[in-house]
Structures are given as C-alpha cells and as structure tokens.
Amino acid sequence: MPNHIFGRTAKSSMPVAIRGEGCYIIDDQGKRYFDGSGGAAVSCLGHSNESVRLAVREQIDHLEFAHTGFFTTPVAETLADKLVALAPEGIDRVYLVSGGSEAVEASIKLARQYFLEIGEPHRHHVIARRQSYHGNTLGALAAGGNEWRRAQFAPLLVPTTHISPCYAYRGQRDDETPEQYGLRVANELETEIQRLGPETVMAFIAEPVVGATSGAVTAASGYFKRVREICDQYGVLLILDEVMCGMGRTGYLFACEHDGITADIITIAKGLGAGYQPIGAMLTSQKIFDAIAKGSGFFQHGHTYLGHPVAAAAANAVLDVLTSDGMMDRVKTQGEKLQAALETSLGGHPHIGDIRGRGLFRGIELVQDRNTKAAFDPAKKLHAKIKANAFERGLICYPMGGTIDGVNGDHVLLAPPFIIDDSQIDEVVSKLTQSIEAALQ
Ligand code: PMP
C-alpha cells in the first residue's frame, strides 16, 4: 500500500490493519494476529468492546468538543470524580491530558510550579532511574533512563540524574534478602538527594512496574515504602508513572496499591482509553492544587484537547468495565496462569534468564548464559528476530533490546487484553516459544 505517513514506517512496509475483534487484529489479507502486547499495554479490554463503542458514539451524537478554556463537561467531571474515588489515598485532583508523555510533562511542570508557588525556587532537579521510559517529549525524555534515547537531544531541558532501578534479577547479591536489596537500592535515592543538595531536588519519578525498557520488572518488597519515606524526609515530590502499568494491568487498578504507598503525582494513560480514544491524566493532591490555587491561581500548562469529551466518555466506560465485578481478580488469575505457562514452556530453556511480572504484565529476559547472566551481543538483534517470527505466526508481542543499563540485553514484554482466556494463553505461549527458538537458531 503506497503511503505518505512520516513515522515509524519510514523504512519498512507493514501489514495493513483493517479490523479488531476481541484479542485479535485482522489485516487486509484476512490474517489474524493475537494482540499479545495490547499495542504496548493499551488495549486492556481487547478490540471492539461494545460498551465503550456505544459510549463513544453517544457522546459524539451530543457534543464532540468544547474547549476547556471556556467549558467543563459532564463526562470530564464524571471521569475526574471516578478517578479520585478509585485512586490511592491522598489523590484529590485530576488534570486530563491526551496521552502518556503529556501526563509526564505536566507532572514535571506541576512539581516545578508547586515549589515556585511555595517559595522554594531552587528546587529544580529531577531524579529518575536508569532503565525507565517516561515518554518522548523533551521533559519526559530527560526523565527516561535510556542514555541512547536522550543522547542526540542533549542538552535536555530538565536537569535530571539517574540512579539504579530496583531490578532483583541483575542487582540482588547472594548475601542479601529481597528486602535488604530493596532497602539498599532505595537508599541510593537518599545519597543522590544529598549529593545534589536537598534544597535543589523537586521530584523523584519512577514506574512502579517498569515496562518498555525492562520487561515488567517489579520492585523488591519494601523498596517503594523506603522511597516514600525518603521523599517525605527531604520534601521531594514522588511522581509515580503508571502510564503503562496502571489501569488494572498488574491486577490492581493502580500498580502502587500493591506496594501500599501513594504518590504526590500519578500519571496514567494507555489503558485509561483502552485504545478507543487518546487520553491520559495527571492525578495529584489537594495540597499541591491549593498551592497553585492560592498562589498564581493558574497552572502554566494546557493543550487544546485536554478533557476532550469523547475521550472522557470512552475512559468512563473503560473504568466501568475495569471496576466491574471480578475484573481485577481475573487479571490476577489469568496473569498467574500466563506466568505458569511461560515457566513450563520456557523456564528450563538455557537462554531464558528470568520470567517475571505482575498480573497480565509479564517479561521474559533472554541471556546468552544462565549462570553468568551475560546478555546476547546486541548486534544479533535477537529481539527484532523474535518480533518478526512472532508476527509471521500471528502473534504481536513487544520485544526490546537494551535491558541492561539501557545498552545490552533482550527481553519480551507481554501485555495481553484482560479478556484473554485459557486457550489463548496456550496460543500465546506456544507461538512465543516457537518464535524464540527460531530466533536462537
Ligand atoms: N510513561 C511510560 C511508563 C510509558 O510506558 C509510556 C509509553 N510507552 C509513556 C510514559 C509515554 O506515553 P505516550 O506514548 O502515550 O506518550
């Protein structure tokens, strides 16, 4: 198909997607692809969900757009109310945006403006973690942990330093328990705050479960509790980026519920619109809102489409499905079945180092040697081969290179729709196993 799209298709041609049906995308040749990555953890309800489609249609019939400079709308207000009611304690305010990068960008600006409003103008540093992804706009890019993504755009606009992620498979020593490991890595945050000077640090940003760069890496227990304590001790805002791991993906509506903590700012997107509409949100506390309200009274941010009524209508319908009876239990149960099936099929494989994750968010890490955990030579581009093999077999998965400090290593991320059934778990695992084996030959 001739095309003039300027984007990721610049070099290679792609199949033409025509239709979505449950967990499958169907191309113009009638070939069916199981959406094993939910389009990068977006399509949590699968394709063609009836209640979301009806909600979108109904909204379009009533009002397609009203600029938030002039109006609020019932759907946007309802969405904000629902999110506040469902969010962890301490979240009272919602700022609706159009996607993940925008939510992260807004969160960095909100942190900066908060400290200006309360008279602490020197707080401008952000601390983030290596092997994290926070988006592709310039502020979000500065926060992201992959050096190679940032390099060509340096110097970036937000002064950001990066500390270790909590990544037990590669970081935990033999002489420490998971809890000791979690505390040790969390304490790097304190060291970094002290190194920069506490009066200059405004925020620490982290993904509760790391997605794109690392393949569903969960933190050791106690890690985030200690992070929360350190942030409180030094007056640093904690931003949790749940753009990928939030909205039920881990079996909790908010991934941080598992860690028993809350944040000063939480970013969500992807699963919030479930693919039906681009939408994201930045959630924050009354304290931060009040500082702006009592100060300049105006958050210096804003895009034309924020709070878009059709997107808000879709998100309301998505949230209703996510919070309907048993949905989060289903994510937990199907997630455990997926983990078990992956372990049975791939757990003993000489080149599979780790199979991990939470809920329907799972990562499989490939290694050259299980004992040394040495990664494959990046030049082999194993992840690209796995992706192509899987595609040929009708499976969309999300393989990435760059696991270890963003330089080497390969992993596959699975983030299937929450409606995945038992036979589809078998289909995914069998096709993925074949694809990995073919790539290793
Ligand atoms: N944060 C995280 C954790 C993400 O995974 C992503 C997207 N992969 C983003 C931010 C950026 O979201 P978007 O692509 O919607 O801008």
Cβ atoms of 433 and 346 within 8 Å: the answer is: yes
- For the CA of 269, the nearest atom of ligand 1: 15
- Would you say the CB of residue 361 lies under 6 angstroms from ligand 1? no
**Joined tokens for residue 15:** 């199949």
pLDDT recorded at residue 403: 60
Q: Are residues 150 and 289 in the same domain?
A: yes
**How many angstroms separate the most distant Cα atoms in the chain?**
64
For residue 299, what is the domain's CATH number? 3.40.640.10
Instruction: Indicate whether 1 belongs to any domain.
Output: no
In a domain? residue 97 = yes
| Cα distances (angstroms) measured from residue 438 to each of 271, 341, 403 | 32, 19, 21
Task: Determine the Cα–Cα distance for residues 220 and 167; give it in Å rounded to an integer.
Answer: 8
Q: Residue 14 belongs to what domain range?
A: 8-49+327-440
Atom of ligand 1 nearest to the CA of 99: 15
Label each residue of 147-166 as H, E or C. HHHHHCCCCCCCCEEEECCC
pLDDT of the residue at 3 = 62
For the four alpha carbons of 211, 213, 214 and 218, in that order, the dihedral sign comes to: negative
Q: Are residues 138 and 232 in the same domain?
A: yes
Calculate the alpha carbon distances from 257 to 141, 180, 431 in Å. 26, 21, 33
Last residue of a domain, one of 322, 350, 382: 322
Decide: 100 in ligand 1 pocket, CB within 6 A. Answer: yes
Alpha carbon of 441 to ligand 1 centroid (Å): 33
The CB of 95 under 6 Å from ligand 1? The reply is no
Please name every residue paired with 361 in a beta bridge, in sequence order, or none if there are none: 358
**228: part of which helix (H) or strand (E)?**
helix 223-234
CATH number at residue 396: 3.90.1150.10
Residue 3, in any domain of the structure: no
- CB atoms closer than 10 angstroms to residue 152: 6
Nearest CA to ligand 1 atom 15: 100
Tens of pLDDT, residue by residue, the chain (441 residues): 556 776 665 556 788 999 999 999 999 999 999 999 988 999 999 999 999 999 999 999 999 999 999 999 999 999 999 999 999 999 999 999 999 999 999 999 999 999 999 999 999 999 999 989 999 999 999 999 988 889 999 999 899 999 999 999 999 999 999 999 999 999 999 999 999 999 999 999 999 999 988 899 999 999 999 999 999 999 999 999 999 999 999 999 999 999 999 999 999 999 999 999 999 999 999 999 999 999 999 999 989 999 999 999 999 999 999 999 899 999 999 999 999 999 999 999 999 999 999 999 999 999 999 999 999 988 888 999 999 999 999 999 998 886 665 556 789 999 999 999 999 999 999 999 999 999 999
Which candidate, 415, 92, 101, places its Cα nearest to that of 267? 101
Count of CB atoms situated within 10 Å of the CB of 408: 15
Position 207 scores a pLDDT of 98
181 and 69, same domain (yes or no): yes
Cα gap 1→166, rounded to integer Å: 44
Residue 84: its pLDDT value, please? Answer: 98
- Beta carbon of 208 within 6 Å of any ligand 1 atom: no
Query: What are the residues facing 22 on neighbouring strands?
Result: 47
What is the DSSP code string of 303-364? -TTTT-HHHHHHHHHHHHHHTSTTHHHHHHHHHHHHHHHHHHHHTT-TTEEEEEEETTEEEE
Nearest to 176 by CA among 223, 129, 231: 223
**Is there a single domain that holds both residue 335 and residue 204?**
no
Closest to 26 measured CA to CA, from 48, 45, 5, 6: 48
> Is 21 found in the same domain as 66?
no
Same domain assignment for residues 251 and 342: no
Looking at residue 143, its pLDDT comes to 97
Kindly state if the Cβ of 258 falls inside 6 Å of ligand 1. Answer: no
C-alpha of residue 133 to centroid of ligand 1, in Å: 7
134 ligand 1 Cβ < 6 A: yes
Domain boundary, last residue among 267, 298, 322: 322
The ligand 1 atom at the shortest distance from the C-alpha of residue 101 is 16
Task: Specify the 3-state DSSP secondary structure of 213.
Answer: coil
Q: Ligand 1 within 6 A of 226 CB?
A: no
Neighbours of 233 (CB within 10 A): 11
Could you report the per-residue pLDDT of 77-114, keeping only the tens digit for each? 999 999 999 999 999 999 999 999 999 999 999 999 99
> Is 245 inside any structural domain?
yes
Q: What is the pLDDT of residue 2?
A: 54
Tokens representing 418 are 């929450």
Q: What is the pLDDT of residue 308?
A: 97
Give a yes or no: residue 157 inside a domain: yes
- For 46, other C-beta atoms within 10 Å of its C-beta total 20
In the chain, how many domains are there?
2
314 and 402 inside one domain: no
Q: Is the dihedral of CA 15, 414, 55, 284 positive or negative?
A: negative
User: Ligand 1: does its nearest atom lie under 6 Å from the Cβ of 39?
Assistant: no
| Dist. CA 320 → ligand 1 center (Å) | 23
Indicate whether 429 and 331 sit together in one domain. Answer: yes
Within-domain flag for 247: yes
Mark whether 332 and 294 lie in a shared domain: no
Same domain for 310 and 429: no
Identify whether residues 43 and 72 lie together within a single domain.
no
**Closest by alpha carbon to 110, among 313, 350, 287?**
287
DSSP character at residue 135 = -
Residue 135 in contact with ligand 1 by CB distance below 6 A? yes
Does any ligand 1 atom lie closer than 6 A to the CB of residue 144? no
Name the 3-class secondary structure at 162: strand
- pTM higher than 0.95 for the full model? yes
Domain end (from 322, 347, 369): 322
Give domain status of residue 126, yes or no.
Answer: yes
